[in-house]
Amino acid sequence: MIRVGVVVVAAVVKLGHNGKPNMVPLGSGNPFLYQVVFFTLRAGISPLPATWVLEKSTDGRQYAAWQYFAASDAECRERFGLPAYSTNYIFKSDTEVICSTQYSSPEPVLEYGEITLSLISGRPSEKTSSPELQNFTLARYVRLRLLRMQSVPFEAKSQSSQVPKQSFYTISSLRIGGRCFCSGHASRCKTNDNNIDNQPQCECVHNTCGSNCDRCCPLYNQRPYRIGTPVSANKCEKCECHGHATSCKYDKLIDEQHLSLSIRGKMSGGGVCQNCTVFTTGNNCERCLPGYYRPADRLPNHEQPCLPCDCKGSGTTGECSPLGGQCICREGFTGPRCAECAPGHAGEQCTKCRCDSRGTLAGLECGDVCTCKAHVTGSRCERCADGYFALTDRNPEGCLKCYCSGLQVACSGSNTNASGSYSTLEGWTVTNLAMSEHIVPTKDNDTGFLVFGMFEMPDTEAVYWRAPKGYVGNLLESYGSWFAFKMLWITVRGDTSGKPTVGPSLVLVGRNGMKIAFGEQSFDGGGEGGRIEVPLQEHGWYHVPGTVKDIITRLRRNEYHGDPVTRAQFMAVLADVETVLLRGTYHTDQVESVLEEALLYRGDVESEGTTSRAVPGLVERCDCPPGYKGSSCEECDFGYVRIYETSVTHEQVASCIPCSMCNGHAASCDLETGQCGTCLHQTVGTNCERCLPGYYGNATIGREDDCKRCACPLVTEGNNFSPSCQPKGDGRPDEYVCTQCPEGYTGDHCELCDDGYFGDPMVIGSQCLPCPCHGGPCNPTTGECIECLGFTEGWRCERCKTGYWGIPDDGCEPCSCSEVGALENVCDVTTGQCICKPRYGGRRCDECDVGYGNLDLECPACACHANGSTSTVCHAVSGQCDCNPGTIGLRCDQCDDGYFGLSEDQPDACQ
């Protein structure tokens, strides 16, 4: 723990006239960056501050709070917007700032109070540290912002004669404890002597530099800089500059593209060497500058790796190959120093001879008469003979024979420039030569390479890596190109009797049953890895007998090395590759096999491991006869089926036979059963002889458009109203009739609306709808009703006529209003209620209203006797009131025989 500053203040700060407190900033004065751990403040002859803020800064201008102090929860919330906490608070995060009331109690402690505060105690990373906690405790300057003094209680004022001296702040001592900030890359720091004014210096480790170990040292930037933690040291990694640079920088893009070599020999990291010396350049100072070359026997870390090009002759361009130093020649010259004429050139200036050097026998290019190679023709030997292609000087016979899947047709070299490669490390498995077992390898999390332990297949001596789907299938576009892979093999260390093994480097298994292989190299130079390149051309390939299940150490070469592969056989395998196997065993003491990369090239791609250039145009383009397709006629065209025949050389030759029974509408068929494959082109039937429902035409003509879509009346889904149609049968194949027009549609193509319907089927989105006229006719286009039935009217016959009422859909009926009681023969169109005269009621106004009666007398008032009747309402037709027992009369105003005493005043009537 380093004491970063002790400040003794004897100042007295009194309240101003306006009652507001003054703020006193106290800085450590030391510009060095520390991680502050604790803080101790001791008051002088006054109480501790009641409200204040402890703040930090790294630049002396902008300050941030470490902690707030106040006397109560209310003050914490009002001043700082935080709730109050007292002792033993457990922080929620490493950067949380709280408001504390622990040191602001109004108890009458008048002098020499003390505050001791830990900035890390109770925080989540207190014992382990974290980047967040490190940044939170960093400071160059510390400030106390004093906001309010203690209010002395009345009791204390009456007992002390020193009260006037206590209305101010005093700080007798201030101790700030911390440690050097060394970014987790130093165990200690030191000063030049014990004088605290001297700045301490971090003793950086982990290849870091800087006053705070805050960056990697100049030559250690292979990985991005990271702060050290108790869990991970995060050392800076040295760049591989082969001793030709003293500094490097990290480049994220270089890292993502794996373009920088690490000191462990892996393309991993983003170090870019700067200011390469001794005429070198490149991310790792691994290449020579233009005009210089590195001899083949010198490694990149040689003291003088690059020498000047020695290319000053007239035949050179003045430049040389950066590896080996071979001069780059002008056209017509060749040789290490371009001092010789290239084939087909002669004279001091190596001018081009008349004969084409590609097709002329070697040494005769400049003769008076051109002597052509075996399969070359022309007065200058400038073209291939019929049935051959790809004229090149590398071919001793001049041209390649057209393969074309055994068909005797012409071909030419591909003019496409679609070169490229395919590579993935996903989906690989490890197997044996017989492919009887398969094991999924593990993936190295650091490098991404695939790793296989030999112990996982103890009964197999030669393991092989089986390629995933992207490497198989039709590989004819890769003919003449390369298959390259990087393999690493780990052997047991120590003095053993083991030795390197031999075996095929690459095995291809065709779907035709052929198993062919290339290479049988022994890697006995002490190395344990390398890049292996295999040319995808028949030269050097051989058959592997089907009886060979493993390549064991004692196996003789001729037991797995069969007859050479011919061009026809090689092309037949490439046409449909079923399996690709890469050699995985290289030593008898091998314990691991590591696949780093696998590249399948296509097109005119140059090999990375040779100075020779790729031969262009080796992919043939055949003039396929009917029934065949593909660059080498390797596939059957539509409507043809493949059959295999055995040739005189005992090879299976495929032929494409037409499926004549399928009328040209099936991609394949079974010639033995006569069964067609899936019928296409909208056809159906045993021989695809009929059109599908919804289509019409003659399917037996044999064209793709034999069956056309029915338009009833349109082909649009929403306006095609008939699911079927058929030709008219009058000799006009384009004429058809829709056979299932739904109700409401008519016409040959359902293009018209039938009687009683309206709409326009020829307009997208329109259809035929019933006339909304309750059985009456309507306009066939707009739907407006022409004649309304059932006493209705309106555009859609949607309402009853005047003098009628009811539901229009069911028909309307007359109002039939009473001539006596109704004002007129008009009623409500929904309820049928007529408009009644006064005293009349009922729907038709043919009754007396309530309180009236006797229709014959035009409905006078009932006038029932108050005590003689049970109600004031009388019968609506007769006018008879409902009499009490003993009373009689139309209005119940008389006593019956034998009864008396009816009176308006007495409720008891007719006793």
State how far the Cα of 847 lies from the Cα of 820, in Å rounded to an integer: 10
pLDDT of 387 strictly over 70: yes
CA-CA distance, 596 to 449, in Å (whole number)? 5
How far does CA 495 lie from the centroid of its chain?
51
| Predicted confidence (pLDDT) per residue in 161-199, tens digit | 444 444 688 888 889 888 888 888 888 887 755 545 566
Tokens in use for 897?
A: 């025989």
Average pLDDT, stretch 686-695?
A: 90
Model confidence at 647, pLDDT cuts 50, 70, 90, reads: low
Does a structural domain hold residue 418? no
> For residues 502 and 587, what is the distance between their CA atoms, to the nearest angstrom?
8
Residue 209, pLDDT > 50, answer yes
Distance (Å, rounded) from C-alpha 911 to C-alpha 907?
11
Q: Are residues 344 and 460 in the same domain?
A: no
**Using H for helix, E for strand and C for coil, what is the string for 800-833?**
ECCCEECCHHHCCEECCCCCCCEEEEEECCCCCC
Separation CA 750–CA 777 (nearest Å): 20
Q: Is the pTM of this model over 0.75?
A: no
Please tell me whether residues 348 and 448 are part of one structural domain: no
Residues 487 and 348 in one domain: no
pLDDT band at 683 (very low <50, low <70, confident <90, very high): very high
- Nearest alpha carbon to residue 722 among 761, 756, 683, 755: 761
Total domains in the chain come to: 4
What are the pLDDT digits (tens) for 508-536?
Answer: 999 888 999 999 888 875 557 888 999 99
In a domain, 426, yes or no: no
pLDDT digits (tens, 9 = 90+) for 74-132: 999 999 999 998 878 889 999 999 999 988 876 655 678 888 888 888 888 887 778 88
The arithmetic mean of pLDDT across residues 775-782, rounded, is 88
Q: pLDDT per residue over 237-259, tens digit each?
A: 999 999 999 999 999 999 999 99
* 895 within some domain: yes
Domain boundary among 602, 620, 647: 602
User: pLDDT tier at 496 (50, 70, 90 boundaries)?
Assistant: low
Residue 774 pLDDT: 82
Residue 464's Cα: distance from chain center in Å? 33
**CA–CA distance, 327 with 265 (Å, rounded to integer):** 30
Confidence tier at 307 by pLDDT (50, 70, 90): very high
CATH number at residue 65: 2.60.120.260
pLDDT of residue 601: 92
Specify the CATH number for the domain of residue 322: 2.10.25
**Same domain membership, residue 134 and residue 13:** yes
* pLDDT > 60? residue 902: yes
The confidence score (pLDDT) of residue 604 equals 63
Pairing of strands 99-100, 64-69: parallel
DSSP 135-168: HHHEESEEEEEEEE-----HHHHHH-S-GGGGSE
Q: Are residues 331 and 455 in the same domain?
A: no
pLDDT-derived band of residue 714, with 50, 70 and 90 as boundaries?
very high
Please report how many Cα atoms fall inside a 13 Å half-sphere around the Cα of residue 762, on the Cβ side.
8
* pLDDT reading at 1 higher than 80: no
What's the chain's length in residues?
911
The answer to the question of residue 725 being in a domain is no
Dist. CA 432–CA 861, nearest whole Å:
120
d(CA 740, CA 632): 50
Q: Is residue 458 domain-shared with residue 341, that is, in the same domain?
A: no
In this structure, is residue 262 part of a structural domain?
no
pLDDT at 55 over 90: yes
CA 552 to CA 540: how far, in whole Å? 22
Averaged pLDDT for residues 628-643:
90
Contact by Cβ (8 Å): 313, 341 = no
CB 213 within 8 A of CB 202: yes
Mean of all residue pLDDT scores within the chain: 85
- Give yes or no: residues 23 and 144 share one domain: yes
Within 10 angstroms of residue 563's Cβ, the number of other Cβ atoms is: 9
> 571 and 466 in one domain?
yes
Band (416; pLDDT cuts 50, 70, 90): low
Of residues 70 and 899, more confidently modeled: 70
Distance, in Å, from the CA atom of 595 to the CA atom of 453, rounded to the nearest integer, reads 12
Give yes or no: residues 481 and 346 share one domain: no
Per-residue model confidence (pLDDT) at position 164: 46
User: Are 452 and 588 found together in one domain?
Assistant: yes
Question: Average pLDDT in the 664-675 region?
Answer: 86
Residue 338 lies in domain: 316-352
Q: Report d(CA 130, CA 556) in Å as an integer.
A: 63
* 24 and 173 co-located in one domain: yes
Confidence band of 402 (pLDDT split at 50, 70, 90) = very high
- 47 lies in some domain: yes
CA distances from 362 to 83, 395, 545 (A): 97, 11, 38
Residue pair 142/56 in contact (Cβ under 8 Å)? The answer is yes
Residue 690 lies in a domain: no
759 band by pLDDT with thresholds 50, 70 and 90: very high
Q: What pLDDT, on a 0 to 100 scale, did the predictor assign at position 239? A: 96
pLDDT confidence of residue 3? 32
DSSP 499-568: -B----SEEEEETTS-EEEE------SS--EEEEEEESSSTTEEE--TT-----TT--HHHH--SBPPHH
Whether the CB-CB separation of 340 and 333 falls below 8 Å is answered with yes
Q: What is the pLDDT of residue 153?
A: 42
List, as own/partner pairs, every contact residues 824-827 make where C-beta atoms lie below 8 angstroms and the sequence separation is at least 24, other chains included: 826/802, 827/803
The pLDDT tens digits for 837-881 are 999 988 999 889 888 888 888 899 988 888 888 888 888 888 899
Confidence of residue 609 (pLDDT cuts 50, 70, 90): very low
User: How many other CB atoms are found less than 10 A from the CB of residue 299?
Assistant: 10
Between 344 and 571, where is the model more confident? 571
8 A C-beta contact, residue 754 and residue 721: no
502 domain-assigned: yes
pLDDT one-digit tens code per residue, 441-487:
999 988 899 999 999 999 888 999 999 999 999 999 999 999 999 99
Q: CA 890, 891, 897 angle in degrees (round to 5)? A: 70
Q: What is the model's pLDDT at position 205?
A: 93
61-85 pLDDT, tens digit each: 899 999 999 989 999 999 999 999 8
85 three-state secondary structure: strand
Same domain, 344 and 451: no
Question: What residue spans of 1-120 are helical by DSSP H?
Answer: 73-80
Domain stops at, among 141, 161, 181: 181
Domain end: 302, 326, 352, which one? 352
